[in-house]
Amino acid sequence: MSRNVRDHGGGIDAARRIHGGARAEWLDLSTGINPCPYPFRPPSPEAWTALPDRDAEAALNASARRHWSVPADAEVVAAPGASALIARLPGLAPPGRVLVPSPTYNEHAAAFRQAGWDVAEDPSHPGPFDAAVVVHPNNPDGRLWEAAALPPAPFLVIDESFCDVRPEASLVALSSRPGVVVLKSFGKFWGLAGLRLGFAICAPDTARRLADALGPWPVAGPALEIGTAALSDRPWAKATRRALADGARRLDALMAAAGAALVGGTDLFRLYRVRDAEEMAVALARHRILVRTFPYDRGLVRLG
């Protein structure tokens, strides 16, 4: 069965087929995943053998509420990754016109198209729109949205997958408004992408419909335990923000010395303008370093 494969970071195995080398020899800078993951304890044996417990799910959601300062009148829905939520969000409203300002994370537009929506990606496209999606901070340029500049639409998705490096910029306070959904990714900041854990924060009616779409036991028992511990560890989060900021400054200095100009990004990824991104990517791949390029602009390269 064929799949429509969209452009993403990652892909060490594909790079190895072209450039060789063992997987352990490669340095993957093509994603925005924290390379120093949360040092979790091994999950309990029951987390592997029993169906996920309601109390464990409640504990995870309570940790999420505290960590992200979720408004009292908003709900938290945990899912097996933010991607699972992105795929289901278009089904919460009848198909119409949706604005997904580009360039941005391409799965949002793909999910709405798959659900029969008319997708506009040009930010200057005239409205009105039945829905809108903004990525905050944006991937790949790190743009932050102001609440007053958000597109006016009755159904608004705010993807904050990379916002844990800038918690003061979060728009989670808007999540109790009808029609607003704030997405959070666990894999990026905590560096545990393989755990597959993500969250939607939204009004109770929207949360109920999302939970129904996900079905019973959407989050695995080990993810419930690890996620609860990680979201409750404020000292680790604080130290990690400092370390990522230091790493971003070092990377900027290295790239500037190589003639690259900083375009934007976050402390989890940086976007640079170079003479020829594909040429740079191939040269780095020969040294077992994988970076992200973009088919719409040969001068842009993104490094985690």
pTM of the full structure: 0.94
Q: Alpha-carbon distance 140 to 143, whole Å?
A: 8
CA distance to 70, 119, 161, per residue, from 184 (Å): 12, 23, 5
Kindly give, in sequence order, each residue whose CB lies less than 8 Å from that of residue 282, ignoring residues fewer than 6 positions away.
none
pLDDT (tens digit, 9 = 90+) per residue, 45-95? 999 999 999 999 999 999 999 999 999 999 999 999 999 999 999 999 999
Strand 261-265 relative to strand 270-273: parallel, antiparallel, unpaired? antiparallel
Cis peptide before 42 (omega within 30 of 0): no
33 or 3: whose pLDDT is higher?
Answer: 33
The pLDDT, as a whole number, for residue 127 is 85
Residue with tokens 């905590």: 190
Q: Alpha-carbon distance 54 to 56, whole Å?
A: 5
Q: Alpha-carbon distance 9 to 280, whole Å?
A: 16
Closest of 28, 65, 52, 43 to residue 291, by C-alpha: 28
On whether the CB atoms of residues 111 and 87 are closer than 8 A, the answer is yes
pLDDT (tens digit, 9 = 90+) per residue, 151-168? 999 999 999 999 999 999
